[in-house]
């Protein structure tokens, strides 16, 4: 069976310290890998996620200090949505307010409560109470956040989010001008199914094991966005293994899409292509994962470089901005 779902979402940030502090200390995610952009080793690549960075929980950033802001618009993932447990919105409203983040309540999108706000670089984020996550009192053994090492819980505890914490993605929004071909790609190749629609928003769902991923496709006649600071760079979908990835690649090529060869990203293997409305899509394998070069309790602590850059470590470390991993605890 195809493992359909979101693997990770990558966005562009400005200042790396501000990005790190916001996602770890305010949102309570764990920094699971600190490395460089493999295509531009003079800049960081941060991976945040659950305890071990399980596929489906990974939010990543390329921090480009001093770069210009992007423009949110058509042909982009215009909102990154994280799933939070039922009844946790009051907790998050308070927490964001405490951290001087203005959050707006979005009532009733497909019946779920949600908050919408922007990160320090202008990236639009949503926290959505997910019907597939039981509230804390009911417990859960099926969510990646809990099923993994204690790292995420320890980290969340440090930052005071505990049981209200983010459990991976909810339904990110893809804004596109002509939804049909993108929707066909999602359902015919990437293994998603249409589930429900409301006004101009159509929801698609994929599952891999017991991890469910939703995606909202919104038809947008607005201007095209410009990818830079504060916008999503790409969204990655899951492939269970290299064989599944190659099968998917064949199908994409057959459809006339221009797909890259398989690229080794150290923690997964990737292919990239522009979907018909211009959003950069990636398909990433579940393995080998973030534990190949660090133990679960040390994830994110050290700057990790792929073997090709190890010989340049001293120079790379001199070039990268200095950051502090734990500069305050709530």
What are the residues binding Zn ion (CB under 5 A)?
Answer: 10, 236, 282
For residue 85, give Cα distances in angstroms to 40, 68, 132, 164, 269. 37, 35, 8, 6, 31
To the nearest whole angstrom, how small is the minimum distance from the Cβ of residue 283 to Zn ion?
Answer: 10
- Dihedral (Cα; 84, 85, 87, 92), 10-degree rounding: -30
Considering beta carbons, is residue 126 or 282 the nearer one to Zn ion? Answer: 282
Total residues belonging to the chain:
330
Considering beta carbons, is residue 10 or 207 the nearer one to Zn ion? Answer: 10
Considering beta carbons, is residue 153 or 271 the nearer one to Zn ion? Answer: 271
Considering beta carbons, is residue 204 or 281 the nearer one to Zn ion? Answer: 281
Considering beta carbons, is residue 10 or 130 the nearer one to Zn ion? Answer: 10
- How many angstroms separate the CA atoms of 259 and 257, rounded? 6
Considering beta carbons, is residue 92 or 237 the nearer one to Zn ion? Answer: 237
In the 8-state DSSP scheme, what is residue 303? B
To the nearest whole angstrom, how small is the minimum distance from the Cβ of residue 233 to Zn ion?
Answer: 8
To the nearest whole angstrom, how small is the minimum distance from the Cβ of residue 324 to Zn ion?
Answer: 26
For 166-207, the DSSP string reads --SB--PEEEES-HHHHHHHHHHTS--EEEEEETTEEEEEEE
Scan for tokens 């211009």, then name that residue: 278
Please say whether the dihedral angle defined by the alpha carbons of residues 291, 37, 249 and 79, taken in this order, is positive or negative: positive
To the nearest whole angstrom, how small is the minimum distance from the Cβ of residue 159 to Zn ion?
Answer: 25
Considering beta carbons, is residue 91 or 290 the nearer one to Zn ion? Answer: 290
Scan for tokens 């447990």, then name that residue: 85
To the nearest whole angstrom, how small is the minimum distance from the Cβ of residue 10 to Zn ion?
Answer: 5
- How many angstroms separate the CA atoms of 229 and 18, rounded? 13
| DSSP bridge partners of 283 | 237, 271
SS3 state at 280: strand
- CA 86 distance to own-chain centroid: 21
State residue 183 phi and psi, 5-degree precision.
-65, -40
To the nearest whole angstrom, how small is the minimum distance from the Cβ of residue 282 to Zn ion?
Answer: 5
For 329, counting Cβ atoms within 10 Å of its Cβ (0-12 exposed, 13-18 middle, 19+ buried), the class is exposed
- How many angstroms separate the CA atoms of 126 and 69, rounded? 20
Considering beta carbons, is residue 146 or 249 the nearer one to Zn ion? Answer: 249
To the nearest whole angstrom, how small is the minimum distance from the Cβ of residue 137 to Zn ion?
Answer: 36
To the nearest whole angstrom, how small is the minimum distance from the Cβ of residue 329 to Zn ion?
Answer: 30
**Tokens matching residue 5:** 């779902």
């Amino acid at each position: 069976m195809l493992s359909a779902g979101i693997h990770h979402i990558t966005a562009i940030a400005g200042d790396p310290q501000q990005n790190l502090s916001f996602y770890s200390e305010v949102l309570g995610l764990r920094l699971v890998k600190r490395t460089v952009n493999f295509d531009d080793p003079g800049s960081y690549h941060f991976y945040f996620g659950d305890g071990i960075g399980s596929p489906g929980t990974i939010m990543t950033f390329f921090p480009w200090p001093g770069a210009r802001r992007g423009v949110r618009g058509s042909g982009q993932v215009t909102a990154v949505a994280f799933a939070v447990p039922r009844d946790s919105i009051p907790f998050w409203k308070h927490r964001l307010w405490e951290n001087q983040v203005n959050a707006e309540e979005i009532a009733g999108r497909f019946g779920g409560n949600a908050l919408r706000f922007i990160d320090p670089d202008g990236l639009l984020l949503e926290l959505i109470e997910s019907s597939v996550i039981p509230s804390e009192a009911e417990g859960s053994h099926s969510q990646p956040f809990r099923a993994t090492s204690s790292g995420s819980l320890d980290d969340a505890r440090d930052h005071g989010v505990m049981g209200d914490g983010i459990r991976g993605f909810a339904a990110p929004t893809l804004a596109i001008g002509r939804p049909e071909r993108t929707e066909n790609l999602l359902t015919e190749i990437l293994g998603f199914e249409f589930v429900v629609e409301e006004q101009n928003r159509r929801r698609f769902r994929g599952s891999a094991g017991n991890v469910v991923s939703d995606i909202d496709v919104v038809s947008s006649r607005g201007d095209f966005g410009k990818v830079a600071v504060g916008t999503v760079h790409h969204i990655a979908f899951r492939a269970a293994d290299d064989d599944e990835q190659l099968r998917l690649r064949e199908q994409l090529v057959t459809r006339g899409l221009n797909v890259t060869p398989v690229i080794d990203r150290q923690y997964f293997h990737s292919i990239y292509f522009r979907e018909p409305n211009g959003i950069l899509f990636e398909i990433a394998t579940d393995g080998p994962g973030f534990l190949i070069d660090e133990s679960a309790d040390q994830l994110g602590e050290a700057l990790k470089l792929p073997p090709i850059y190890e010989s340049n470590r001293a120079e790379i470390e001199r070039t990268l901005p200095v950051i502090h991993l734990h500069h305050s605890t709530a």
